[in-house]
Amino acid sequence: MFLCATLLILYSFMDSQSEALNVFGPEVPLVAVAGEDLVLPCFLKPSTSAVDMTVEWIKLDVEHSLVHLYNDHEDRNAKQAQPYRGRTSLFKEELQKGNASLKLSALRVSDEGRYKCLVEDESWYDDIIVNIIVEAQGSHPVITMESYDNSGGINLVCESRGWKPEPEVLWLDREGAALPAEATQIHRDTEGFSVKRRITVYDYSNSNKFYCRFRQIRHMMEAEVIINSKVFDAWKFAVGISVPACLTALGLIVTAAIFYKKVLPRQSVEREFAAMERVVEPQRRRIKHVLAEMKKFAVDVTLDPDTAHPKLILSADEKQVTCGDTEQDLPDTPQRFTSYYSVVGKQSFSSGRFYYEVQVRGKTDWTLGVVRENINRKRITLTPQTGFWTVDLWNENQYEALADPEVPLTLREKVEKVGVFVDYEEGLVSFYDVKSSSHIYSFTAQSFTEKLYPFFNPWYNVGGKNSAPLIISPVFNTE
Ligand SMILES: *[C@@H]1O[C@H](CO)[C@@H](O)[C@H](O)[C@H]1NC(C)=O
């Protein structure tokens, strides 16, 4: 009788415990980004140690495959499905608190789906289902110049792989207006959507710039291609040259330039230089004097590491910058450039005049100038309208002022040191070649309302030739 009562009490105790104990998980699907690590939550309530229990994670749907098994105080993953090998773990410390959450590393698009978390001991079990959705931003779009079109246009195709969900693809002109293009081709595979869209473009102006934009709800990527008018004329000479492009404007401009070089008669360039030579000498003396005046407004500029793109390497004195091969692990703060290898100075200016010099010797590519404080540092458009007053060098010898539209600059010699002068009230940003005392370009009659910061982009090490740093140099008056 006594034994019976004891069993009864014991039984009702166990019963009440098993009624109360449940497994919980998230009620809504988890949305995560491919490449990241994700914790799939699963825990016991009320908090009860699961150390002595079995925890089993299973992927449902396609085939019921074992994702992770913990049993008899150990992980038992001999039968784990191949795609999950080495990518799963439980939080062993947390198990004592009844937390059986699973960590899944380096998320893949193919990980999307429903996962069952099952927890059991000899007398009890419960499970929940965790639904995960994986989004992925595709590869950098690549623009290929496929062929000349019989109608006098050029056939371009823009492609990118690994998107999820599928992106919208647009071809845009330089003003950002959508251009009529062929239907988007979409192909689904295990790691997302491969997407391509073709367009035939025509010679609209001197410098034809086209963008191809991939857009998702949360992500966007763009590639651009610049096609000089001469390329349209050259259809007779070259057919079917493939021009790979990359997200950075540079890669594209460079490739367009290779094309450009093919058709530009060399002699005409040399004649142009010779003609310039005759007018330049008296001018140079005058400019030398102007430069000496500007140097009186020399300021000490240092680079602001908190704004530097994670690939940039700054010297300890914060006067030099180059672009490294790998991204450093730095916080993605609002002031940090993340889409363009840029950094700004620590010093800002909101009145008066200032001048500084930057050594560009040995570089094949750079962008320098000033920017206003409130620019978009995550997506860059280099125009005065968007807050950038800059000039750049690309492809070793192509100089241009990034006005809207760009102004190609013909300089007599390779610039080794750039002088930047700003007169805030006048709305003037001028660039000088310090060594030859010649004027490079001026933005005039601009209206500044925000603080201005010196802006630097050393570009990546294009073809291994652009490793020289940009160096903010002390200003000497040589007059
Ligand atoms: C379970 O552990 C993971 C990893 O430490 C943690 O992120 C999660 O918040 C924990 N869940 C609960 C309910 O404590």
CA of residue 39 to ligand 1 center, whole Å: 8
pLDDT for residue 239: 39
Domain with residue 90: its CATH number is 2.60.40.10
In ligand 1, the atom with minimum distance to the C-alpha of 24 is 13
Tokens read off for 65? 């495959």
pLDDT at 237 over 90: no
pLDDT, tens digit, 9 for 90 and up, residues 466-479: 999 999 999 987 65
Number of domains present in the structure of the chain? 3
Same domain, yes or no: 416 and 302: yes
- The per-residue pLDDT for range 368-378, each reduced to its tens digit, is 999 999 998 88
Q: Tell me, what's the pLDDT at 464?
A: 79
The strand pair at 88-90 and 154-163 is best described as: unpaired
In a domain, residue 270? The reply is: no
Residue 204 has pLDDT above 80, yes or no: no
Q: Which of 431, 427, 426 is nearest to 455 (CA)?
A: 431
Q: Average pLDDT of the chain?
A: 83
Ligand 1, atom 11, residue with closest C-alpha: 99
Determine contact, residues 474/368, Cβ cutoff 8 Å.
Answer: no
In a domain, 355, yes or no: yes
Angstrom distance (rounded) from CA 359 to CA 377: 24
Residue 454: asked if its preceding bond is cis (omega within 30°), the reply is: no
| pLDDT value at residue 410 | 82
DSSP annotation of 248: S
pLDDT at 235: 54
Q: Is residue 36 part of a domain?
A: yes
Q: Measure 98 CA to ligand 1 centroid, in angstroms.
A: 10
Q: Which residue's alpha carbon is nearest to atom 4 within ligand 1?
A: 91
271 within some domain = no
Please check the confidence at residue 115 and state whether its pLDDT lies above 90: yes
Mean pLDDT of 114-127: 94
DSSP 329: -
The arithmetic mean of pLDDT across residues 189-204, rounded, is 90
Domain region containing 71? 2-135
Closest CA to 452 of 365, 375, 383: 375
Ligand 1 pocket, residue 235 CB under 6 Å: no
CA–CA distance, 395 with 391 (Å, rounded to integer): 14
Whether the CB of 367 sits within 6 Å of ligand 1: no
Q: Which of 232, 264, 296 is the last residue of a domain?
A: 264
Strands 207-215 and 168-172 come out as antiparallel
In this model, does residue 88 exceed pLDDT 90?
Answer: yes
Contact 395, 257 (CB under 8 A): yes
Poorest-confidence range of 164-178, 235-249, 317-331, 335-349?
A: 235-249
Residue 37 in contact with ligand 1 by CB distance below 6 A = no
Based on the fold, state whether residues 178 and 31 are members of the same structural domain: no
Is 328 found in the same domain as 458? yes
C-alpha span between 420 and 367 (Å, rounded): 12
**Over the stretch 389-437, which tens digit does the pLDDT of each residue have?**
999 998 888 899 998 888 888 887 899 999 999 999 989 999 999 988 8
In the numeric block, which tokens belong to residue 326? 């790998």
| Residue 278 covered by a domain | no
Residues 327 and 193 in one domain: no
Q: 285 Cβ partners below 8 Å, 6+ apart?
A: none
Backbone phi, then psi, for 443, in 5-degree steps?
-90, 125
Beta strand ranges found along 3-141 (DSSP E): 22-24, 30-33, 38-40, 43-45, 54-59, 65-71, 74-75, 88-90, 102-104, 113-121, 124-135
Residue whose Cα lies nearest atom 14 of ligand 1: it is 99
Give the 3-state secondary structure of residue 367.
strand
Distance 75 CA to ligand 1 centre (A): 18
Which residue's alpha carbon is at the smallest distance from atom 7 of ligand 1?
Answer: 39
Band the pLDDT of 340: cuts 50, 70, 90: confident
Asked if the model's pLDDT at residue 249 lies above 50, the reply is: no
